[in-house]
A and B are shown apart, each in its own frame.
Chain A
Amino acid sequence: MAVNPSSVPSVGGGRLMRVSPRGAGNGWKAALFMLPSWILLLVFFFVPIVLTFYFAFTNLSLTGTSSSAVTFVGFRNFASMFSDPTFRVSILRTITFLVFSAIIGQQVLGLLLAILMNERNRVFRSVVGVLVLAGWVTPEIVVAFIFYAFFSDQGTLNTVLGWLHQKPVAWLYTFPMTAVVVANIWHGTAFSMLVYQAALGDVPKEILESAEIDGAGRLQRLARVTLPIIKGSIATNVVLITLQTLGLFTLIYSLTGGGPGNKTETLPIYMYQQAFADYQLGYGTAISLILLVIGILASLLYMRMLKIDL
C-alpha cells in the first residue's frame, strides 16, 4: 500500500481504516462535483421557498405603494382569507374538482382500463393504449383548445346534438365544472392506467388461480386478491394525481378562466387572480401556502385510509 502506509493493521479493521481516508477524499471530490447542483438548488429552489414563506406574511403587491414599501403584516393575509367567502368557495371547488376528476375519474377509469386491457390480446391493448396515451401526451394548453372546440357554442358536441334535433347548450357556461372535470379525466387517465398496468403485472397468477379454484368470482378476486396486493400502487397513484390535480392551472385557466363568475375558480386560479390580476402578490403567496397544506393533509389522509407506508 504505497499510497497510504499508515493503513496496514489487521485484516478486518485494516479494510475499514484503508477505506476511510480514501472515502474522505472521495467525499470531498463528491462534494465538489455536487456543488454546482447544490448551488442551483439553493438559488432556484431553497431561496424561493423561503421567500414564499416570507412574502405570505407581507402586503407585497405588483403596483402601488405596497410594491416599493413592503411591510410585514403578520397573519393578516390568512385572517382575511378565512373570512373571505370567495376563498371558502374556492376550496370547495378545488375539492370537487379533485374528487371528481382525479380520485373518481382518473383513478377508477384508469384501473378499469388496466384491468380490461390486462385480459385482452395485443392488438386491442395497443389500439386502446395509444388512444388513451394520446390524451396524456397532449400538452395541457392543447387539451384546453380541444375541449373548447368540443364544448363551445358552435362546437362538436352541439353540432352532434343538432343532428339529433336537440337544442344547443352553452356547455362551458351551464356546466362549467363538468366540462373541466371531463377534460381533466381525458387528459390524465393514461397515467393511472400505466401505473395500474404495471401493478397488475405483479399480481402472482398462482394466487388468482387458487382463488378461482376456491370458487371466488371475478369481483371477489378483484376486491379480495388484486386490490389488496396492489394497495401500495394505489396509494402512490392517488398521492401523485392528487398533487398534480391540486396544482392544475393551465387547463382550467385556458378553458374557462375560472368562470363564469367563479364557478370553476380552483385555488391555483384564485391564487393567480389575486397575485397577477388583482396585483396582490403577498396574498397570492399566502394562498399558495394553503394549497401546500391541503396537499400534505390529503396525502396523510390517504396513507391513513390505506393503512400504508410508502
Chain B
Amino acid sequence: MTPDTAPPLIEVEQARLRFGAVKALDGATLHIRPGECVGLVGHNGAGKSTIVNVINGALTPDEGTLRAEGAPVERYGIKAAHALGVRCVFQELSLCPNLTVIENTRIVHRELGSGRGLGWRSTARRIIERSLDEIFPGHGIDSRATVGSLSIAQRQMAEIAMAFSDAGAPPRLVILDEPTSSLDATLAGQLLAQVRRFVDAGGSVIFISHILHEILSTSDRVVVMKDGNVVAERPAGGFTADSLFEAMGSVAKPENAAQARRDLSSAPVLLEQRGRGLPFRAHRGELVGLTGLSGHGQTEMLLELYRQRSGDWLPLRDPAVAFVAGDRRVNGIFHLWSILENFAVASLGDLTRRGLVNDSAVADKGDGWKRRIEIRTQDMNNPILSLSGGNQQKVLFARALATRAPVVLMDDPMRGVDVGTKREVYQILREEAAGERTFVWYSTETEEVCLCDRVYVFREGEIVAELVGEEINEANILAASFQGEAA
C-alpha cells in the first residue's frame, strides 16, 4: 500500500452535530488513510467519541459529508460501516456478559451465520481463537467461557481480538477507544505491537488514549480535538507530551514529583489489615496508594476493607468508610437519577429530619460541592447522564467526600478521565488529606501513584512491597510487580 496515493478510507468533512444545546461536533474534519495509525486526543467532551460514532455509523451528522474510499456515501449506517471494514473497541466494555466468547463473536460478525446453519460455532471458535493467539499469546482465555466470568482485562482482550478478527469482511479500520485502560503493561505492549503489525499490513487504526506516550510512540499522525473541532494535526514526531497538552488546552505544569511527601508514621493508625504478604496500615490524613499489575488483588482488598467497616445489617450512625467506584457505569452512578440525587445518596443520613429528606439542605450541600469541585452543569437537577464521563466521576468523588467518613477508598476512579479533571481532583485530594482525611487509592497509572505518601505494591493477591517517600517511582513499582517472574 502506498499511503500517499491511495484514496483515504474514510473522510469526514465539516461535520456538525448537536445534542440539544450541546455542540458535539462543530465542523470537524478527519481523514483516515490506509496504512496509518491516527492518534486522537482531547479532553472529555472534545468530540472524540462523537466523531468515532459518526465513522462507525451509529450517529449521522446534522451537516457535513462523509466519503468512503473517495466516493461520497448516501446511506451510511452501522451495516455500511461494518461492510467497509470499520470495527470498534469501546471504552466501556460492550460484549454480552451472558454469552460465551464464541457467541459474542457470532453477534459481532453478522456474516458468520449465512449458509452455515448450526455449524457457525466451530468457525466462530476458530476465528476468535486464532485472533486471540495472535495478539495476546498465552492469553489463557477459554473461548467457551461466558464473558461475565472473565476478568475485566480478559474481557477487554476478547473484545480487542474480536475487532481484529476476520470472518469474511476483513477489518480495515479498527477504532480503539482507551483500549489499554484495563490492561497491564505487558498486555498493553502486546496490543500496541498488534496495532503496528496491522498498520504495516495496510490497515488503519484510530487510537484514542489519555496515556500520551502510547499515542506518541504508536501513532503515525496525531489529531487533537477540542470543543467539537480538530485544532491540531501533525505527524507524531511533531508533538511532545508538552505540546500535546498545550494543543488540548490544558496548561502543562512541570510535575513537582517530590511535592512535599509527608511522613505520617507517627499519626494514629486508622486501618489495619493482615492477610497474605505484608500487613496493610493507613494512618490518619495519609494518602495510601495500592498498585501493581491490574487485577492482582487491589480491588478485592478495597472491598474487604469496606465490608469490614460498614454496617452489616443496620446502617452505622457514623459512616466509617466511603467508596469511590472505578467502573462507574456498573457500580457507580444511578443512571435514572439526577446529578443532585446521585451526589446526595451517600450522605442522606445527615440530610434527613424525622425520616424525611430535607430538600433544601440537600440542595445547599449540592451547590456547595458543585462550586468546590466544578461540576460542569447549569442545574444539579439535570440527569446524571447529561454529564460527560469525567464530570460523572467528579460527582462520585463529591458523593464520597461529602460524607463524614474519615476514610475514603478509591478503586481506580480515574479510568478514562481527562487530564484536566484529573488535576482538579488531585488538588482536592491533597486538600482533604491535609484536613486529616485518609485515602486508600488503587490506581493503574504510575503518575497517580507517585502522588501518594506511601504505596503498597500487589502481586498475585498479596502485598509484596511497601514504598515510602523517595522510593516511590516507576522503576521500583515495576521491579516489585514483576519480581519473581523474571527469576
Asked if A and B are interacting partners, one says no
Question: Which residues on B are within 8 Å of A, measured CB to CB?
Answer: none
